[in-house]
Amino acid sequence: MKSHPVRQLAVLTLAALCAVATAICATAQTKAPTPASAKADAQAANPNFVKAIGNPNAPITMEVFGDFQCPACRGFFEGTTKQVIDDYVIPGKVYLIHRDFPLEMHPYARQAARLANAAAEFGQFEAIERALYDHQDEWSAKGNIDEVIASNFPAAQFKKFQTFETQHISEINASIERDRALGMQRNVNQTPTIYITAHGKTEALPGGGVDYKLLKSYFDYLLRQ
């Protein structure tokens, strides 16, 4: 029997249609619920351990769900967050909130988050965040966080962080869990995941970090509104 090329292609098209339909069904995405006001969440989720920098009344709030042991988070902090702090947080245009989202694959992420929460209680969140990311390579292999980070602070002050962490371990763990729960509620599935709140609306940025120039152009657009 002679087969017709056009007919063969038609069969091929039909097969491709079926494959596409199946693949689309398999990868159908679930819509993330629109989060409520980030500032309200910041107060509700962290009544004591506020890991934030800047003016809470700034026109833009930037929330970063991060993991101190995650290399992408370090890349985002070094390449973008530091410039955001200098250009937008210090001038009072952006309020920067850190949310703990330690990933299971990083064995020392929780330990680092606990130290950061303790330091936050003494108003040293920005300093400890810088120290943790700047020295990530040094502590992430063995988990010797205290040993590596201690040199960045006066001995007496670092001792206070450690003592506070030991005495308030359950509250600190609860604070980390609240942040994690908030992330799960918002379908955070990678770090860093960034949310921007401005003009009463909260938008999720594509996960995995953002280039500073692109974020800057978005901030400038929001500030012009």
Partner 1 sequence: MATTAIPSETSPRSAAWPGALLVMGRVALGLIFLYAAYAKLHFEGEWHLRDYHFFFAMAIDSYKMLPISAVQIMARVLPWFELALGGLLIAGVAVRWIGSITSALLLVFIGAMTRAKILGLEINCGCFGNNEKLGTATLIRDSSLLFLALAVTIGAFLIKKRQDKVSS
Q: Among residues 1, 26, 141, 156, which is the contact residue for partner 1, using CB under 8 A?
A: 26
Distance of CA 195 to the CA centre of its chain: 8
Residues 188-207 close enough to bind partner 1 by CB under 8 A: 189-190, 201, 203-207
Complex with partner 1: residue 163 or 189, whichever CB lies closer: 189
Q: Which is nearer to partner 1, 19 or 181 (CB)?
A: 19
CA dist., res. 24 & res. 185, Å (int): 25
* Nearer residue to partner 1 within complex by CB, 17 or 174: 17
**3 state SS of 143:** coil
The amino acid sitting at 189 is N
Backbone torsions φ then ψ of 125, nearest 5 degrees: -65, -45
Indicate the residue among 3 and 57 with the shorter CB distance to partner 1: 3
Helix (H, G, I), strand (E, B) or coil at 66: strand
List the one residue from 10, 40, 169, 223 that touches partner 1 (CB under 8 A): 10
Strand partners, 207: none
Residues 144-183 that bind partner 1 (CB under 8 A): none
Measured from the Cβ of residue 60, the count of other Cβ atoms closer than 10 Å reads 21
d(CA 114, CA 98): 13
Which listed range, 29-37, 115-123, 136-144, 157-165, lies at the site for partner 1 (CB under 8 A)? 29-37
Binding site for partner 1 (CB under 8 A): 4-7, 9-14, 16-17, 19-24, 26-27, 29, 32, 34, 72, 187, 189-190, 201, 203-211, 213-215, 217-218, 221
